[in-house]
Amino acid sequence: MDNKILEIKNLKALVSETGEEILSGIDLEIGDGETHVIMGPNGGGKSTLVNVIAGRDSYEVSSGSIKFKSKNLLNMNIDERSREGIFLAFQYPSEIPGVRPWQFMKAAVDAKRKANGDPELSVREFSKIYDDNLKKININSDLMKRSLNEGFSGGEKKRNEVFQMMMLEPNLALLDETDSGLDVDALKAVGDAVNNLRDSKRSFLIVTHYQRLLDHIKPDFVHILINGKIAESGNSDLVKKIENDGYESFA
Amino acid sequence: MSYIDHYKKLIESELKSNKNFYFMRAVAPGADYFIENGFPLKKKGNERWKYLDLRNVTSSNFIKSIYEERISTDFESVLEKLNSCGINIVEDEILIVGDEDNHLAGRNFIEPEGIGASSPSKTNIGEIANPEEDGFIALNAAVADITSFWIDENFSKKALNIVFAGQSQDERLVTERMCIKILKNTEVTINEIHFDSNFNTLNIPVLEIHLDKDSKLIHNKVILGSEKDMNFNFTRVFQEEGSSYQNNSFCHSPSIGSNDIKVIMSGEGSECDLRGIYFTNNKNQFNTHITVDHLAPNCKSNQFFKGVLSDESKAVFSGKIFVEKGAQKTYATQKDLNLLMSKGAEIDTKPSLEIYADDVECSHGATAGNVDENTLYYMMSRGLKKETATRMLVRGFVDEMINSISDDKIRKFASNQTELILPNLAFK
Ligand SMILES: Nc1ncnc2c1ncn2[C@@H]1O[C@H](COP(=O)(O)OP(=O)(O)OP(=O)(O)O)[C@@H](O)[C@H]1O
Ligand SMILES: [Mg+2]
């Protein structure tokens, strides 16, 4: 049982448009069922890292490799990566006018099932799962009658990201500051949702600035990302060190 | 022979065959204007048409189509198409333009309760659609096929479908003119549907609508153009006190054409709400030209249009708000949003405000943009293919307009048409 779901080797990535290098040689391995946390100062490259994993094409990988379930991830499109089991909860989710959350999720779940050779869910089967998950994460179903994310508060958007994660049941969930801007109840709900999904087949990479999320989710590993490089890796004790000394001691 | 000479001959022969004295009153100014000026081809000082290439309009000498051509198989298939989309054509909901010999200057008219043919002596053709405003309107006036009728309270809360079926031959000119009077306190829906056939035809339909005091009209307009036809569609509306006019347009562009609406708000406390969506593709050109004239105080107008442009098509939106000196407490808005699906597509938006009153509230805005990359990325990160995501986005953009169509059948029809149009849009 020493399988790695994600293997990143010497990853360098630049902004496609300008050629500016943001990630300058990242090595990171995540094992099946593990939960990793990434912390680091603003602008260190945390979001860039998770977006490069998700396949955002405004970044260009200039060297290194990423393997997901032993497959070369860099050959896959954004949507293929998702259907393979990668999920990114966005730091800033998009508002999509005219697109209903239900319709959007149905299409997403069906696309994934189709790729796996499973039949589409009937409206009824889907609705049941949909409603159950809404309840679990405590999203008001009236909210979901609007256009996706349109007029959602910051916290509501974050909950909705977690809701989508629950619907898509990824093998690797990347959470980019999902805990920012959450009230205490929402924070607990997000923590519970992650903990409920944790199992031997699912791994998490969680970007956060705050220790308080880690009161709910106990990570296996903590990494500190500074200037596009992992400056240090360790266990939860690292978080306390950051709280006490700040990032300067790692630079 | 210049094209004007061709139409001059056509106009003269029409004048000879048309014996109705009353209609002549309107025909003459149109004829004079057109023979003098022709189509609005000049670029200079021609704000309305200068962005379009109108040369094709003169590339053929179009002859007037005769009625038999028009109701042939095409008409049947139109009815079928509508049926299949859930529009049930109930006999008294349809107006069929008919054959030669009756009192409506050659129209056979099925009169449901609450609708009646207006007598020619009481029909002032050109009163609302001034033939000297535009060469197209002038030509229509000069050789129009005229249908004139009123609607009263006995038809309230009902819908009247007016179907303009496709023509079945090349080089035909179709100049329908309808003069519709909505009588006091009447509340109706008119669905105007143009199904153009794939022939080189020049369609110039003109609707003149008079809204009496406290009447209300919901006017749904569907233009489904084809790759070959041209369709210059005009609506001219005159509003009396307390009346309400709502227009929902759904346009899939013909090779070249326009949706040209002018509303004259002449009575105090009237309201108009003009909305629409236009799709353009291939090398088609389409002009949405909207004018609202606020002539009386306490009126409210709203213009809200959206465009989806693909390939190398071109769309023009020109919206004008005119507020007369005495039209205090006017509230007028205008908005035009465009989605450019390809690099080759082009939009020209030209808002214009002309305000002579001081106590008014006006706003306008226009945007044009591509499908948002961040949004597309977000959707794809949930496993949706790029095409699926794009289609969903465009659908979402369009739905806001479609959902505001209050007539169930037309809304469903527009929705189904959108599903047919979307896959043909090139996503680049
Ligand atoms: N598309 C881009 N174009 C230009 N610069 C970019 C782009 N994406 C990221 N950067 C730059 O790369 C650096 C890292 O950004 P990133 O968003 O990854 O930081 P972060 O660690 O997530 O910061 P935060 O904690 O504030 O969210 C920043 O300096 C940012 O300005
Ligand atoms: Mg970030």
Q: pLDDT per residue over B92-141, tens digit each?
A: 334 443 333 333 333 445 566 788 877 767 777 888 999 999 999 999 99
Q: How far apart are CA B259 and CA B27, in angstroms?
A: 23
- Supply the pLDDT for residue B97: 39
Question: What would the two tokens of residue A139 be?
Answer: 């999203």
Closest listed ligand to the CA of A45? 1
- Supply the pLDDT for residue B86: 29
What's the CATH code of the domain at A50?
3.40.50.300
State the residue for tokens 């305000």.
B355
Q: Which residues contact A118 (CB under 8 A, 6 or more apart)?
A: none
State the distance from the centre of ligand 1 to the C-alpha of A246, rounded, in angstroms. 20
Confidence of residue A251 (pLDDT cuts 50, 70, 90): confident
State the distance from the centre of ligand 1 to the C-alpha of B211, rounded, in angstroms. 59
3-class SS shares of chain B: helix, strand, coil, % to 5 = 25, 35, 35
Contact check, Cβ <8 Å, B396/A99:
yes
Instruction: Report whether pLDDT(B20) > 80.
Output: no
Confidence of residue A226 (pLDDT cuts 50, 70, 90): very high
Task: Kindly report the average pLDDT of chain A as a whole number.
Answer: 94
- Supply the pLDDT for residue B98: 34
State the residue for tokens 């004079």.
B32
Contact check, Cβ <8 Å, A90/B399:
no
Q: How far is A164 from chain B (nearest CA, A)?
A: 8
State the distance from the centre of ligand 1 to the C-alpha of A229, rounded, in angstroms. 13
Instruction: Report whether pLDDT(B276) > 50.
Output: yes
- Percent of chain B exceeding pLDDT 70 equals 85
CB pairs under 8 A between A and B: 75
Q: Which residue of A has its CA nearest to B400?
A: A98
Question: What would the two tokens of residue A182 be?
Answer: 């959450």
Nearest CA to ligand 1 atom 22: A47
Q: pLDDT per residue over B378-418, tens digit each?
A: 999 999 999 999 999 999 999 999 999 998 888 988 999 99
- Which of A28, A30, A108, A110 is CA-nearest to residue A69? A30
- Supply the pLDDT for residue B102: 33
- Supply the pLDDT for residue B148: 82
State the distance from the centre of ligand 1 to the C-alpha of A73, rounded, in angstroms. 22
Question: How much is the average pLDDT of B195-217?
Answer: 92
In chain B, what residues touch A107 (CB-CB under 8 Å)?
Answer: 384, 388, 392
In chain A, what residues touch B374 (CB-CB under 8 Å)?
Answer: 94
Q: For chain A, how many structural domains are there in total?
A: 1
Confidence of residue A50 (pLDDT cuts 50, 70, 90): very high
Please name the member of A56, A104, A107 whose beta carbon is closest to the beta carbon of B377. A56
Instruction: Report whether pLDDT(A189) > 70.
Output: yes
Q: pLDDT per residue over A67-88, tens digit each?
A: 999 999 999 999 999 999 999 9
Residue A154 structural domain: 4-250
> Distance of CA A110 to CAs A83, A85, B3, Å?
10, 14, 58
Question: How much is the average pLDDT of A119-137?
Answer: 95
Contact B388, B347 (CB under 8 A): no
Contact B152, B183 (CB under 8 A): yes
State the residue for tokens 């990566």.
A81
Terminal Cα distance for chain B, rounded: 44
Q: Directed axis angle between helix A101-115 and helix A123-137, to 10°?
A: 120
Interface mutation vs chain B, best among A96, A100, A114, A146, most B CBs within 10 Å: A96
- Supply the pLDDT for residue B100: 34
Q: pLDDT per residue over B229-271, tens digit each?
A: 999 999 999 999 999 999 999 999 999 999 999 999 999 999 9
Contact check, Cβ <8 Å, A82/B381:
yes
State the distance from the centre of ligand 1 to the C-alpha of A49, rounded, in angstroms. 9
Q: Which residue of B has its CA nearest to A96?
A: B375
Q: What is the ipTM, given to two decimal places? A: 0.96
In chain B, what residues touch A82 (CB-CB under 8 Å)?
Answer: 380-383
Do the bridges between strand A229-234 and strand A221-226 make them parallel or antiparallel, or are there none, so unpaired?
A: antiparallel
Question: How much is the average pLDDT of B318-344?
Answer: 96
Question: How much is the average pLDDT of A158-169?
Answer: 96
- Which of B227, B272, B290 is CA-nearest to residue B253? B227
Please name the member of B378, B383, B386 whose beta carbon is closest to the beta carbon of A94. B378
Instruction: Report whether pLDDT(A24) > 90.
Output: yes
- Supply the pLDDT for residue B64: 84
Contact check, Cβ <8 Å, B384/A108:
yes
Contact check, Cβ <8 Å, B399/A98:
yes
Terminal Cα distance for chain A, rounded: 35
Which DSSP category does A26 fall into? E
Contact B246, B273 (CB under 8 A): yes
Ligand 1 atom at minimum distance from A49 CA: 18
Contact check, Cβ <8 Å, B377/A103:
no
- Percent of chain B exceeding pLDDT 90 equals 60
Give the residue, B159 or A172, on which the prediction is more confident. Answer: A172
Instruction: Report whether pLDDT(B167) > 90.
Output: no
Contact A79, A164 (CB under 8 A): no
Confidence of residue B66 (pLDDT cuts 50, 70, 90): low
Q: Which residues line ligand 1 (CB under 6 A)?
A: A 15, 22, 40, 42-48, 58, 91
| Dihedral in degrees, nearest 10, Cα atoms B92, B96, B99, B102 | 50
Count CB-CB contacts under 10 A for residue A2: 5
Question: How much is the average pLDDT of B66-87?
Answer: 46
Question: How much is the average pLDDT of B318-340?
Answer: 96
Question: What would the two tokens of residue A227 be?
Answer: 């200037």
In chain A, what residues touch B392 (CB-CB under 8 Å)?
Answer: 99, 103-104, 107
